[in-house]
Amino acid sequence: MEKLDESQFEQRMKLCALRIPRELASAVTRLLRSGHLLDMPRVKPVVEDPGNGNNRLVVLSERIQNPDLSDIPEQVQVSLKQLCNIDVVPYTLTLGYSYWSAGHVAHLNIPDELLPYKDVIAKVIYDKNYPRIQTVANKVGAISNEFRVPKFEILAGKSDMVTEVKQYGATFRLDYGLVYWNSRLEHEHIRLVSLFKKGDVICDMFAGIGPFSIPAGQKGCVVYANDLNPDSIRYLKTNAKINKVEDYIFTYNLDARVFMQTLMSVPGPETKSEPQLATANCSSGEMVCADGQSTSNGNHNDVREIFQKSLNDHSMVGTTAKRRQDTSSEGDLACQEDGNQTKKRNNKKVKCTGPLPVKPWEHMDHVVMNLPASALHFLDCFSGLIQKRCWKGSLPWIHCYCFIRSSETEELILSEAENKLNAKIAEPIFHRVRDVAPNKAMFCLSFRLPTECLKEETEDHMSIS
């Protein structure tokens, strides 16, 4: 048996840390907990200073790379300096080969050159981490199915891919064999959701089991979440209930373009203005109305007809909508967050009855397009999607994930995005998420939807590209 080289599975992260007196650790972490503190599962952000037992090292988020702390808002910097003299030091975090897991499942992606040793690798991980790790699975082959769900080979333990994962104070239940999940994207989920504000309207076009939608709901955002995979939507609904945000998240199981056109359809003058669309139950590839009528993803006209009927059908207002009406006069419906202790800073649960009704065709704040392999191609659905006469406030931020190879440039990706939109993008922001291969990286392209995408005419826009 060949000796296992554990270093092949190690990942070293170059980070910054603040060296502070230990008695100030709680005060400093409170100042940094809004996205500036390292937040990784099973990794403590505050550690003892190996050079001085009276000091502590407060490890900063991987997004903060400048020793001058220019990545941190000036107000936070001022508050830190008022506490004590800040000493910024380099900090290296080493993650071992058994770090990445989802609940009781250790998900591996063993490179070809190490495949002869896959059973050895699996046994070491299983023996070392049991009972926390009860299943060791390796991804096999390229992802080629419609729902982008990888295939796995069970290398050790039980053949049970249903598990629960905890991230940033949220619990996610999933079946690793039916839905897509990547624990390595946790920091990106945190980064993007940190841009959302309480009360924002979020549109999640490729929602999966809810890594963006659930924390957005916990933050008090209204979320319209869609995914083509019916299993993803089933688990998204389950996760919304587990995290007590079902009043904030409205789910759809539609093609992304049909979903956006459905969401942004403006009701006629004879229809009720309440957004009863939000109470539609879309599952198993169908949009289901209260009277049991349904339509498949393939018939776009039927989708629109049922959507309009749902706006007219008073019975569509269910228990959730009634609770909102009953409580709308009770004052502030803001989410109450339990954040009294630093160690519970991310475990904030929504404790109100739900957000006030919104009309997505009049305003939404962010659109998340988390399908990096093809999200760029879906940008064409925004051309003429929003009716200018109905829109209120600023146009939404679009967050479009994509892959960029070493032979490609940001300018090339931007040009492709503008061609799909048929409009010029002003002040685009490229954020490098992670390297997925030696010559390939995942990026998030963020921009305000250009005003040229607004629809001037009043007739409904239902063309499908």
Contact (Cβ atoms closer than 8 angstroms) between residue 461 and residue 431 = no
Per the structure block, which two tokens stand in for 314?
């008073």
SS3 401: strand
* 367, 398 Cβ separation under 8 angstroms: yes
Third-level CATH fold of 105-160: GMP Synthetase; Chain A, domain 3 (3.30.300)
Contact 174, 102 (CB under 8 A): yes
What separation, in Å, do the N-terminal and C-terminal C-alpha atoms of the chain show?
56
- What is the pLDDT at residue 329? 33
Task: Kindly tell me the burial class for residue 177, based on how many C-beta atoms sit within 10 Å of its own C-beta (0-12, 13-18, 19 or more).
Answer: middle
% of the chain residues with pLDDT over 90: 39
Asked if residue 248 lies in contact with residue 223, where contact means CB atoms within 8 angstroms, the answer is yes
pLDDT higher for 357 or 310?
357
Average pLDDT over residues 379-405: 95
Computed over its alpha carbons, how large is the radius of gyration of the chain?
24
> Residues 207, 227: contact at Cβ < 8 Å?
yes
- Determine the average pLDDT of the residues in 257-279: 69
pLDDT-based confidence at 283, cuts 50/70/90? Answer: very low
Query: Which CATH class name applies to 183-453?
Result: alpha beta
pLDDT exceeds cutoff 60 at 137: yes
Q: Looking at domain 14-95, does it have CATH number 3.30.70?
A: yes
Higher pLDDT among residues 169 and 290, named by residue = 169
pLDDT above 80: residue 71:
yes
Angle made by CA atoms 107, 109, 113, in degrees to the nearest 5: 145
Query: Which pLDDT band, with edges at 50, 70 and 90, does 124 fall under?
Result: confident
Task: Please state, rounded to an integer, the average pLDDT across all residues of the chain.
Answer: 77
pLDDT value at 60 more than 70: yes
DSSP annotation string for 284-347:
TTEEE-TTS-EEETT-HHHHHHHHHHHHH-GGG--HHHHHHHHHTTSS--PPP---SSGGGTT-
Contacts of 279 (CB under 8 A, 6+ apart): 250, 310, 316, 317, 318, 320, 321
Lowest mean pLDDT among 11-15, 38-42, 77-81: 38-42
How confident is the model at residue 335, as a pLDDT? 31
Provide the annotated binding site for S-adenosyl-L-methionine.
189, 227-228, 255-256, 370
pLDDT at 15 > cutoff 80: yes
Task: Name the residue among 23, 24, 15 with its Cα closest to residue 81.
Answer: 24
Comparison of pLDDT for 156 and 196, the residue scoring more: 196
* pLDDT of the residue at 314: 29
Closest CA to 283 of 234, 316, 239: 234
Question: What's the residue count for the chain?
Answer: 465
d(CA 192, CA 207): 14
pLDDT at 378 over 80: yes
Please indicate whether residue 234 or residue 168 has the higher confidence score (pLDDT).
234
Annotation: binding site? 189, 227-228, 255-256, 370
- Taking the domains of the chain in order of start, what are their residue ranges? 14-95, 105-160, 183-453
**What mean pLDDT is predicted for residues 261-281?**
62
Taking Cα atoms as reference points, which of 366, 432, 434, 444 lies closest to residue 402? 444
**Residue 320 confidence class, pLDDT cut points 50, 70, 90:** very low
Spatial contact of 375 and 401, defined as CB atoms under 8 Å apart: yes
pLDDT band at 382 (very low <50, low <70, confident <90, very high): very high
